[in-house]
Amino acid sequence: MINLREQYGQFGISETVYQFGKEILDSLQERFTQIDLVAEYNQLKVIRAMQTANVSEACLLGTTGYGYNDLGRDTLEKVYAAVFQTEDALVRPQITCGTHALALALMSNLRPGDELLSPVGKPYDTLEEVIGIRPSKGSLREYGISYRQVELLPDGGFDYEGIRTALNEKTKLVTIQRSKGYQTRPTLSVAQIGELISFIKGIRPEVICMVDNCYGEFVETIEPSQMGADMVVGSLIKNPGGGLAPIGGYIAGRKDCVENAAYRLTSPGLGKEVGASLGVLPSLYQGLFLAPTVTASALKGAIFAANVYEKIGFSVVPDASQSRHDIIQAVTFGSPEGVIAFCEGIQAAASVDSFVTPEPWDMPGYDSQVIMAAGAFVSGSSIELSADGPIAPPYAVYFQGGLTFPHAKLGILMTLQRLRDKGVVTSDFKRQV
C-alpha cells in the first residue's frame, strides 16, 4: 500500500495539515476532471498545429551567427500562428521576458504623437517604466507617445462610457492586460476581452487592440486572438514554454503588427530573416507540446490554494468557486508576515534551492520591495511552482505554477504549515486576527 502520509511527513507537514488539505482536495475531483478536458482539447490543438506546419526532426537543429534560413525557427512561428489562429507570429529567444515582449509590441507599433490607452486600469508594475508613468530612459513618453487609462468599475466591469470618452483621434493602440498583475481585481475571460475589443472597434475600427496574454494561455479552449485581438503577447517561461523553454517570448497577430515588431527586434531591413536559434529549439517545441497539460497542473494548484485559504478566512481572488481565466491565485493576508511566511513555504517545497530563505528586496522595475519564491529549473520561470508579492498594502501574495499537480499540492501544504508554525494561522485553521 502506498503511504503518502509518510512521504509528506518527511517534509515536516503535520497530520492535521495533511488531513485538512486532503478533505479539500477530495471535494475538487469533479472540477479537476473539467480542467483535464480543456487540457485534452488544447493538447490536440497543439499537435494538429505541429502536423499542419510539417514539423520535422530537422526543425530541432539550431543555427548560429545570422541565423539565415533557420527552418526550425521559421516553422515554430508557423506553429504559434496556427495555435493562436493569427496571420503571423514572432517567437524568439532574443525576446528576454514578458515585459520585453510587451515593450517590443508597443514600441514597434506606436509612433511619436500617438496615444496608448489602457481600458482596464493600471498595467503591471514593470510596464509603468516602459510607458513612462514612472520616468525611465527610453520610455514611450520620451518618444512623445502619450498614455491614458480608464479604471475598471468597482465590480471589475468595464467603464464603457469612460472608454468611449477616452478614445480619440490620437488613440493608436489599446493594451488589455488579461491577468491581474499585482492587483486583486478579477482576471478577464477571453469572452470579456472579446466584448471589450468589439466595443472599441465599433467606435474606432483602426485602433490596434493588443492583449497581454501572460499566464492565460491554454487555460481556456480559445485565445483572445480568436476574439478580435490584433496582437497577443506573452513569455515562454510562463504557460506556453511548458517549463522547458529556457528563455523567449512571442507576439502573434496581424502580419503588419508582427512585421513591425520583427524590424524593431532586429533591424530595419532585416526583420525576421535574422536571429539564430542557438540550440534552444528542442526545448521550445517540446515545451509548447507539454504546455496544455502543464498549464492544467498549475490551474489545479491555484484552485486548491483558493479553497484552502478561503476556508481559513482569507480573501482570495478568484474565490474558491469562480471560473478561471489564468493560473494566478491571489491571497490577501493583510500583513507582511503572512506574505513572507507563504513565500517561505513555497521555497521550502522547491526542488532547486529549497534550503534558501526568500527575503524582500528592491527589485528593478518595481516601486516597492518585492519578495519572490521560485526554486526553478529555469531562473524566474513562473510556470514552475512560485509565489511573489510586493511588501505593501493590502499585503497580497500571488501564487502560480507547478509543472505537476503533486508539486503544486506540496507547495500549498508547505505554505499552510509555515503559516501555522508562525502563528499567522491558528492551530485549528482560523485566520489570526
Looking at the predicted structure, is the pLDDT value of residue 136 above 60? yes
Query: How confident is the model over 215-225, as a mean pLDDT?
Result: 98
Looking at the predicted structure, is the pLDDT value of residue 185 above 90? no
Q: What is the pLDDT of residues 74-124, one digit of tens each?
A: 999 999 999 999 999 999 999 999 999 999 999 999 999 999 999 999 998
What is residue 373's predicted lDDT score, i.e. its pLDDT? 95
What is residue 427's predicted lDDT score, i.e. its pLDDT? 80
pTM of the model: 0.95
What is residue 311's predicted lDDT score, i.e. its pLDDT? 95
What is residue 184's predicted lDDT score, i.e. its pLDDT? 76
Q: With bands split at pLDDT 50, 70 and 90, how would you rate the model's confidence at 325? A: very high
Which domains, ranges and CATH numbers included, belong to the chain? 4-42+289-421 (3.90.1150.60), 61-279 (3.40.640.10)
Query: How confident is the model over 394-405, as a mean pLDDT?
Result: 96
How many Cα atoms within 13 Å fall on the side-chain side of residue 206?
6
What is residue 67's predicted lDDT score, i.e. its pLDDT? 97
What is residue 1's predicted lDDT score, i.e. its pLDDT? 75
Q: With bands split at pLDDT 50, 70 and 90, how would you rate the model's confidence at 433? A: low
Per the DSSP assignment, residues forming a β-bridge with 212 are 177, 233
What is residue 125's predicted lDDT score, i.e. its pLDDT? 87
Q: With bands split at pLDDT 50, 70 and 90, how would you rate the model's confidence at 367? A: confident
Looking at the predicted structure, is the pLDDT value of residue 417 above 90? yes
What is residue 182's predicted lDDT score, i.e. its pLDDT? 79
How many other CB atoms sit within 10 Å of the CB of residue 195?
16
Pairing relation of β-strands 146-149 and 115-118? parallel
Q: Provide the mean pLDDT of the chain.
A: 95
Q: With bands split at pLDDT 50, 70 and 90, how would you rate the model's confidence at 216? A: very high
Give the span between the Cα atoms of 32 and 303, in whole angstroms.
9
